[in-house]
Structure 1
Amino acid sequence: MASPLHPDCVAFLKLVEELGRPRFEDMEYAETRTLYAGGRKVLQPPSPEVAEARDLALPSGVPARLYRPMGSAAGEALPCLVFAHGGGWVVGDLDTHDHPARTIANLSGCAVLSVDYRLAPEHRFPAAVEDFGEAVHYAHVNAAALGLDPERLAVGGDSAGGNLAAVAALMARDGTLPPLRFQMLIYPVVEMAQTHGSYARFTSGLPLTDATMRWFRAHYAPEPASWDDWRASPLRASNLAGAAPAFVLTVGHDPLCDEGRDYAARLEREGVRVTHVHAADMLHGVMTMGAIIKPALSYIDMAARALRDAMA
């Protein structure tokens, strides 16, 4: 049985009900992007100041944004977190995750390279994996020009972004990407089959339900054959040993809860150093709801401090 929701989460759900916000699975995907982007002004606090926020483009043309934390010197070679936003591979962009990216930069003392990877259904699996991998490679190769330390790179993301980060960590372990020092997985998607028990527990009344996840999957990876690919379902990788140390946050009221907990447990079992925080009274998406759900910043702080320690 799930723990009771935090009062701030209850207040958020009441607000959603009062506003009559439609569910993603009842909309066209283009409409969901506008709705998701518009929620930022209501759900997130004002973005904090950073030393620099610079828009870039990867060689392929994929947009990115590089944040340097307050207090960093202009020529200082900083450790860097390459970050992928959540949104089911269908919604989200640099702006929807501007607040968490800036906050992580300031709290960790690391640069953050946020990636506006191509979205589905226009670009299905593995397009997002390819774009995120390109960003990691870009940060490494261009470290001197960007003011980064190529020996201190990390990956991270929330939800679908956590999926991309987990995959990148395995690619780095295998030598397909540059070596990584850390992976930050915020309520990640790690199993595309969507058969874990938490899918059956959370079928209504939450911003993310089993139906919403199936809608996202239908846009990103509609072919069941692709679900066996570890680049879609990193939990299905034959071996997790040797991946970068991990911080994994799972939340109790989330269809992704059980697969995230399984992934953290398997990382530990296979010898990866992992810090797993389970917030039993939180719901999916809390990282981008800090204006209403006050504990959100504390979880961002935990992740940022784990990143800072890994880069020390």
Structure 2
Amino acid sequence: MLDPEAKALLDAVKAANRPDYPSLGAEGARRLYKDTRAAVTPPAPEVSELDNIAAPGPHGPIPLRYYRPAGVDKKEPLPALVFYHGGGWVIGDLDTHDVACRTLANEARCAVISVDYRMGPEYKFPCAVDDAYAALLWVAEEAKRLRLDPERIAVGGDSAGGNLAAVVCIAAREKMKAGEAGVPKIAYQLLIYPATDMHMQTDSHRRYAEDHLLTRVAMDWFQDQYLNGPQDRDDWRASPVRAKSLAGLPPAYVLVAGHDPLRDEGEAYAMALKKAGVPVAFREFPGQIHGFVVMGKAIPQANQALAEMGVALKLAFGQG
């Protein structure tokens, strides 16, 4: 059964008859997404520190937002979560996911570094991957200055951000195997309804293709903005479930929503990780829709999900 609050939200969106993202173009879609956040986003919790900073990257500086949780010593080296926001590799930014990042910082008692990676259509695949990996490397290199524990750095994200977090883990493993210096050993991956297969052929893609916040039309448009062409769908940097091997990756927490086109590919990735010997905590919110985790004002279960993820991170960081 669809969660009552999720159903009420879908009904309200349908009644509003707002335009779909493809009809608006990338800039219009970004504005619409940002403008609709206030109606669903809970109040921002206090954190002890927030700083807008930047990391160098192969395509230019990468804006970051650095959070330290409330109630921690200013000098204490904290574990860290490098977070990649969702939005189909086209929409979303540091502001749209600010409350979720604050909440995760406080719940997990860790620093959070949110990454404003480059997006399509202005920057095509694999620019987002390049930025995501470069940001992780910089955080690890600057751990002492940022008052972080370099041995306890996790990655995470929702939707497209979950895709990037998964891909960064594979990239780090490959670069470590190749003997590249300075590659951090990622402690954990927090994958929130991640996109893992660009072919989009699962049953959940068929079942929830319409009348949901993430439709098939929107997914096709997001792909067109991000990828260079259909050939990119087979690249593991776009479809991490298609990597030759998932062995040796960090332990994972994979969350899926039951009424989400991405539900089945999220579960498929969790099962593939398990089959490869990676410890996985798989969590389904059966009544929920795609994107619910950042909608705690309209969907209270989002707050439960963030609290559970905070516990998972604490345990991964040895703070449980």
- What TM bracket, shorter-length normalisation? over 0.9
Residue in 1 aligned with 2:95?
A: 95
Letter in 2 for 1:298: Q
Inter-partner Cα distance in structure 2 for 1:222 and 1:206? 26
Q: Secondary structure at the match of 1:27?
A: helix
Q: CA RMSD in A?
A: 1.0
- TM-score, normalising length: structure 2: 0.95
Q: Deviations over 1:52-109 (max 9, x none)?
A: 0100011231100000001111111100000000000000000000000000000000
- SS of aligned partner of 1:41: coil
Question: Aligned letter for 1:124?
Answer: K
Q: Which residue of 1 aligns with 2:171?
A: 171
Cα distance, 1:39 vs. partner?
1.4
Separation in structure 2 between the aligned mates of residue 108 and residue 212 of structure 1, nearest angstrom: 33
How many Å apart are 1:14 and its aligned residue?
1.6
Q: Deviations over 1:34-59 (max 9, x none)?
A: 00011111110011000001000112
Query: What is the match of residue 61 of structure 2?
Result: 61
What's the CA shift for 1:279? 1.1
Equivalent residue, structure 2, for 1:189 = 195
Opposite residue 69 of structure 1, the aligned amino acid is P
Percentage of pairs with the same residue: 46
The Cα offsets for residues 114-161 of structure 1, whole Å up to 9 and x where unpaired, read as: 000011100010000010101100110000111111111000000000
Give the partner amino acid of 2:254: V
Structure 2, unaligned stretches of length 5 or more? Answer: none
**2:232 matched residue in structure 1:** 226
SS in 2 for 1:81: strand
1: CA distance, partners of 2:269 / 2:277: 12
Q: Note if 1:304 corresponds to 2:310.
A: yes
Of 226-235 and 174-183, the range deviating more from structure 2: 174-183
Aligned twin of 2:49: 52
How many residues get paired?
309
Runs of 4+ in 1 over 6 A off after TM superposition: none
Is 2:7 the partner of 1:10? yes
Query: Equivalent residue of 2:10, what SS?
Result: helix
Instruction: Identify the residue that residue 208 of structure 1 maps to in structure 2.
Output: 214
Q: Secondary structure at the match of 1:75?
A: coil
The reply on whether 1:108 has 2:114 as its aligned counterpart is no
Q: In structure 2, the residue corresponding to 1:170 is in which secondary structure?
A: helix
Which residue in 2 is equivalent to 1:71? 71
Equivalent residue for 2:30, pick from 33, 40, 48:
33
After alignment, is 228-237 or 170-179 more displaced? 170-179
Q: Give, in angstroms, the shift of residue 24 of structure 1.
A: 1.2
TM-score normalised to the size of structure 1?
Answer: 0.97
Q: Retained in 2: the 8 A contact 1:173–1:244?
A: no
